[in-house]
Structure formats: C-alpha cells, structure tokens
Structure 1
Amino acid sequence: SLAREAEVLFLEANYDREMLKNGPYPPPLKARIASKGGHLSNDEALTFLAESGFSGSHVYFIHISDTNNSVPLLEAAARISSPVPFTVCAKGACYGVVGS
C-alpha cells in the first residue's frame, strides 16, 4: 500500500464516536459524517494505521472536529496504539517551518 511505502503520513481523525453520537448535530448529519463516504473516526484512523504497515518516521492526525473530537482524547488513544511518533494537529496551529 502507499501508506506502507510513505515516510510521513497525514491521516484524518475527524470524530470520536461517542462525542458524535451525543453531540448537537441533527441525525442526518451524524449519519453522513459516520458513513463510509463521510469522515474517519479516531478508531478507524488508528485501525488503518495499525493495519497499513506504515513504518515511516511520523504520522500527523489532521481534520479534527471542534465539536465531535478533542485533541487530548485523540492523543490518549494514539499513545496506546500508534506504532510510530505522532502529532495531533489542532486547528489553527503551526507545526514547523516551511522553506528556508
């Protein structure tokens, strides 16, 4: 797979299933988010990471919902199961220098 060959991986971890289930969104929007064509949950992202064979240097978790996820929650889950160093990218934060 492409993930197996990559040095760095950017992986969506958009929502926590319980936060989405109990959150303020209307049922049709919740269903779309959680659908196969919607977004990746924390669990789905971490399962993909584990099953992909990725052994690069770093994974960045991106596109984290302000409403249905939290950085500390995802960090705690990733600490348990990520096989490589990771960064949970909070919205609006800068992670390193681009260019010279």
Structure 2
Amino acid sequence: MQFSEILATLPAIDHIAALELFDGDVLVARLENKPGTAGSVRVYHALMQEFGEINAAAATKGLQLYAEHTADAKAFQGKHPNIDRLLTLISNADEHTGTQSLTVKLIQQ
C-alpha cells in the first residue's frame, strides 16, 4: 500500500493542533497538524496510541506506515526528518546508546 492509502486507515487527528515529542524533559520536535506535516502527526499519533510512546518497536512500525517514503528517507538523509527520527531511535536501541524512547504530548485544537 502507498502512504496515502495507509494514512486513510489511521485514527483521525481533527482534534489535534500539534504533537510534541520529548526526550525526558527536553522538547525535541513539534509537529503541527497542517499541510506538509499532518501525515506525520497522524503516523506519530497512531504509534503513540498503540505503543504509549515512540520507542524502537513503534519506530519499526512507523517505518512500515511511511511506506515508500521510508526508502526515500534512507537514500536522502535529512529530506524526511520525521522518518530520520524513527531511524535514529532504532539505531540507538540497537547500539544501546542515546535516546531509547520519546514521550508524546498532544496539543488539542
């Protein structure tokens, strides 16, 4: 399935204005629910609902959800920062270094 088809199967995010990702108490990213990042908000929201946080297992599933964009992110590092973040979480877990998980805070509309 293509990313656009996968997005249609994920929970709605109409009630979310933004999503914030934290490494401990440190804000590492804020994803706005607006064109250009709404797809990532939807993916990260679905992962948070399923896993409770964004850890290596959630990141692995997230790469599947991003579908064709994952290969593009691997080929062009920096082009897809929200996918790069998932790749880094997986790498850190494999190497037992750095951030192992991110907590998610939903900012309501």
TM-score, scaled to structure 2: 0.25
Which one has the largest radius of gyration? Answer: 1
TM-score, scaled to structure 1: 0.26
Higher percent of residues as strand:
2
